Structure 1
């Protein structure tokens, strides 16, 4: 079935209304053309918010090829609209693994100078299958925690062949995108998929990083009892001091009504946990890859599977009659069963991404392969623009305060 870009264009325009920072960056790019003639290959969630980022980069002069970083998050009408705008889009909702990687390779056929990634699949493909393109790649940006973990390991093993900016690790990204965006959109996806009432339920959140604490905060705000599971003693202590119950997954498995994984690791919920869960338990993943819930173990435990009992909800019936509900096939529930982060959240993440690309374009000659933090001035600029768009002012330091902060001679 042919999909028109008209609906996608309306969706993009709606998202752009809530993205004043990225719109301002796009206007600056259109005037300055900092990316003139540059080829960019991107592997990102193909959503309306991503389309606004693509528009800003194109305004700066870039030629872009875009593949999806998750086949279930692709908005086909947005992909059609982007194609009509002149972006080479290789994405379609619901494709299989083989097609997913074919799309990534098609995006790489542009012979990119800079790459944008969300999960490191595009960078990984470059380093394993498309080695002939590596000499032409001068830098990249990574959007998510899972990708940064993989990239830092590549850098440790001296396998990474070009500099990559860890866009995920900015203060604005961690605070707004990871905490507030993931927290809200994850619960949005769960409620859309199941229409469950979270008040009074026991919600188990696996992982208490920035994303996990956002999910825990939003669940508690909706009246749920929240249990946190962790492997990091410091994060476990943090969760405890914030009033959450902290337990191992083996204990939490028997008590939870809703389980949400957000760790960036695999097999967080395994066969022994699934076997202990109560009838009607809901399983959702908010980590980037579909490995956090052991879906294969769930399939082996089940006597019967009822796919699609609700949109994005599959029911697995165990031998004793207990039913476990898996959402979004174990993939990102917020982008599969809902629409991902609100546009106002992605405004800052993608503005930082766009500014990081221009920084890379300027500095790539002097950078060696490795993972780099976003320059703090970019993070500050993004926050300043966001406050200005909201009509909010903050104080500035006086000359005496500046001197005091930069002097070690003045005591009490």
Structure 2
């Protein structure tokens, strides 16, 4: 993400010393008294040199102005003299760089020449208080462009303390922190920036979330990566974003979590709910997991959806064969009522959990939730898995509060992370 281009501020942050009136007072003064100029007291030598340099700077004749500004620097004795000299040098060098960039935007730019006059302007007691914040900020930008991130961070934080207001400043502080190695501190700062923007009614750009995800993921900070992924989905819950996150989380090679088949099945269910199943491979892989789990009705439903949306091409013979097999198996199973009765009389909840799965696959979410709760009550099951699936069934039936309670009850990775993604999806639903 390009936060601040080189020299983008060269013109607007020029000292504007060309506008300072450098004239001797009209009234007679004692010869040993310094000339007064809008609060500045210049020595006669510096005043004379500055008066010669100023109109040439105004004309942007930088070649001719260079030796004249050097003369001002040579004549400078007092603090006010040194301030005018630094201001003119900064305006001269900024103007030269800006003109060169305009003439050839692709040419390399060396901003190092700005450091010395900026340092002088920042340190000078003669610099107007209103001007100092922008010089501090510009010095930070100079260090940042030069990849001197600790120095840049120091100046950016100082500019913030001085009340400098620029839309780039918060993100520059974030990036400077991260580039110094303080990834946790940087993304913590970014989280505050986003919160402040949201509180003011201004939505943070999507790039902010992507930047944070990229940096914490690069630093192998898995919990933080998952947190920022959920923040991104909460703010920008597009189908494409959901797919990107869920694939990175648990479906691609080297994913953030290593999921077993049962967990991947629940991840595909979330992809279906978030409408992020993208192509025939997604639909067919989901259907295969459902088939392997012994859920032919769910496999058939998923395959039909893929065909109806056109994401499974009409000529896909493999998908047609999978659908035919799933429908035949589902018909063969018949009613679940006898299995439900046995589940209710069983000593543990294992059969109840399996029956609940079958009801879910058939789209009977109320019955599924009932049997999942029975399984939890009887025990002998993986409570985290059953609570995940209870939440999924309740979410499908429209019971958001009940679904959230079930997801909140899930503990331990990777199930708790999977449940958190489901909770994020719930929050994005109207």
**TM-score, scaled relative to structure 1:** 0.27
- Give 1 or 2: higher strand fraction: 1
Q: Whose RCO is larger (CA < 8 A, sep 6+)? A: 1
Larger radius of gyration: 2
Compare the two structures and name the one with the higher helix fraction: 2
